[in-house]
Amino acid sequence: MRLVRHYAITLGAAVALLAIPSASAQGLYGDEGKNATSVDLNNQDYWWAKFDAMMLEIAIQQKQPEGHIAVDLASSIRRLDDLSKKFPKHQEIAKWKARAAEVDSKINPNADRRTSFGPECPWDEANFAQLWVNLHWAKVAYDAKDYTTAATQMQNVMQNYPSCWRRIA
């Protein structure tokens, strides 16, 4: 009986502690970067959006299947919508969002969405994408003295590097 009571008290205390909002949830530091207008951000979604913007231009330059571009643009546009709310003054995000919307509006609605990109377009290469995003994010995190994020992203880079190398070789 004492053991059950002990666990109930411990569980209750844990639930009560989890219910207390953390300092960052209260917004003490939550607005960092909100006023950023042009710098690279220490934010994962920012780096995925930058990768997608770069890949969009490569896909267009290579005349990759427009239906497949539409498939990849769908998630890119959702991410850009979220980022533009989080960083409303960031000019690069606004530029990427406008470009994605422009391209999306020009895609033939009957274009075949099942046709894959050619091997020269790495937009859908998961290991390459993760390596690129995490390498660039790690550099910005390191410069911001966010060493935990930088180390975590570099571990991911090292995990993806062999897969990319095997594909190239």
CB count in 10 Å sphere of residue 156: 17
Give exposure, 8-25, as e/b (b: 16+ Cβ within 10 Å).
Answer: eeeeeeeeeeeeeeeeee
50 closest CA partner among 159, 139, 151, 163? 139
CB proximity list for 104: less than 8 A, separation 6 or greater: 70, 73, 77
C-alpha torsion angle, residues 78, 80, 82, 88 (rounded to 10) = -150
Q: What is the mean pLDDT of the chain?
A: 84
DSSP string, 123-156: GG-HHHHHHHHHHHHHHHHHHTT-HHHHHHHHHH
Give the pLDDT band (50/70/90) at residue 77.
very high
Kindly report which listed range (33-47, 57-71, 100-114) carries the lowest average pLDDT score: 33-47
Say what percent of the chain tops pLDDT 90.
71
Q: What is the mean pLDDT of residues 72-81?
A: 98
Q: What is the pLDDT of residues 5-53, one digit of tens each?
A: 444 443 343 333 333 343 333 344 555 567 888 889 999 999 999 999 9
> What's the burial of 75, exposed, middle or buried (CB within 10 Å: 0-12/13-18/19+)?
exposed
